[in-house]
Amino acid sequence: MSAMLLGIDHVGLAVRDLDAAADRYLRALGMTAGHRETVEAQGVEAVFLDTGDPSSSVELLAPLRPDSAVGRFLESRGEGLHHVAYRVDDIAAALEALRAEGIPLVDEQPREGSRGTLIAFAHPRGFAGTLVELVQHPEASR
């Protein structure tokens, strides 16, 4: 059984100042702020912005510590685009498909994301330099 791709779930943007960046997107583009959370284990604070399309959002990511993954990203690359997340209906099958194509995975198994999702990251080497996340929403399980 193969997984079905359901579109772009969100784009992740690495920023230094979460509030300043969110304010900019809200004021200049008319986005609205949604779910916000601190993930101590990942060393990151994140806020999701509503883009006017409920299925595709912007995730702003700011590091809690310089030695976190996002902190190191900012150090080496500066602020900007961090990853693209695609929504799938069956993340286990989708990971299997990546493996079958020889894509190197960051997460060999799905893990818990925010808002009840299951997520997994594939290495940028697998997708011409782009860090790719897969997301399965709770309502997508079948």
- Beta carbons of 20 and 2 less than 8 angstroms apart: no
Residue 121 sits in the site that holds its own copies (CB under 8 A): no
Site string for its own copies, 42-81 (x = CB under 8 A): ---------xxx-xx-x------------------xxxxx
Give me the least distance between CB of 118 and its own copies, in Å please.
16
Give me the least distance between CB of 97 and its own copies, in Å please.
6
Q: Is 112 exposed, middle or buried (0-12, 13-18, 19+ CB in 10 A)?
A: exposed
Q: Is 129 exposed, middle or buried (0-12, 13-18, 19+ CB in 10 A)?
A: exposed
Footprint on this chain of its own copies (rule: CB under 8 A): 2-8, 11, 13-17, 20-21, 24-25, 27-31, 51-53, 55-56, 58, 77-84, 86-87, 94, 97-98, 101, 103, 124, 126-130, 132
